[in-house]
Amino acid sequence: MPLRQFTLDELAQYNGENGAAAYISFLGRVYDVSASFQWQNGKHQVVHKAGKDLSSELAEAPHGADLLARVRLIGELGTEG
């Protein structure tokens, strides 16, 4: 099944707040972190928020991208808006 395509605006709707699903993007891929303990209410370690492209933030995180294997890959982030 082809992956769903997201724009940054669409991704922003999935911020985990008020019952919304929590999606994050890393290096062009979009992951559903709604079920992750570490992403409750769309926040991770207080400072990181869902609904965004976190490629640059993950580079400074105290863990690698390997932890993304624990969450579901659901789409790809397009280059438009």
Q: How far apart are CA 2 and CA 34, in angstroms?
A: 21
Number of residues that bind another protein (CB under 8 A): 9
Would you say 21 and 34 are in contact if contact means Cβ atoms under 8 Å apart? yes
Residue among 10, 53, 2, 9 nearest 31 (CA): 53
Residue numbers 62-81 binding another protein by CB under 8 A = 62-63
**Contact between 56 and another protein (CB under 8 A)?**
no
**Contact between 47 and another protein (CB under 8 A)?**
yes
**Contact between 60 and another protein (CB under 8 A)?**
yes
Site residues, another protein (CB under 8 A): 37-38, 45-47, 60-63
